[in-house]
Amino acid sequence: MSITPQAASARNREICQLAPIIPVLVVHDVSHARPLAEALVRGGLPVLEVTLRTPVALDVIREMAKVEGGVVGAGTLVTPDDVAAAVNAGAQFGVSPGATDLLLDTCEDIGLPLLAGAASASEAMRLLERGYDMLKFFPAEASGGVPTLKAVGAPLPQISFCPTGGVSPSNAASYLSLPNVVCAGGSWVAPSDLVNSGQWGKIEALARAASQLGL
């Protein structure tokens, strides 16, 4: 079933409103998928972005999709093949570092809500022209961070963002304080050392702290 840009943005806005932080996850071991997802969901972060940067990423999505209360998406979507594979694995939304017409066409045709990336006013305006008003701002810090988003928000108040890339506990609250930011993406809630050592309680604690940001 296909999806319009407007419907995709509406769905992604609903997803982004579920928690202030979306964990950006790079998982190398499928056995970590379910306990990691369960820890993050228990900690109050139900939306999970699994990046397609490891050979087991699609299997990780399949496992995380089984976790009650979780909303699992696929990140780093770049090609039509990525989109098809993500949907087949059970991804409920997609995330891309940028946007191309081919990628947007594919997501719309296959019915996957895409959180498309923009790093400039022109990129954001082009996506808005197509019907997307809920975007990823990437790479956030390298693209000017909070001051840039604040400046873009003045002439383009109808566009909302999920900044990702360099967002950390030290600056997340500043991003979340902006009226055009719905949530932010961050990897600090699932550091590789804690994941690899199976310290799910500590990850749950990091998630719980992150879930309170911006309140």
Catalytic residue list? 49, 136
Residues 6+ apart with CB under 8 A from 157: 179, 180
Torsion angles phi and psi, residue 24, rounded to 5: -100, 115
Instruction: Report yes or no: 65 and 57 within 8 Å, Cβ to Cβ.
Output: no
State how far the Cα of 146 lies from the Cα of 202, in Å rounded to an integer. Answer: 29
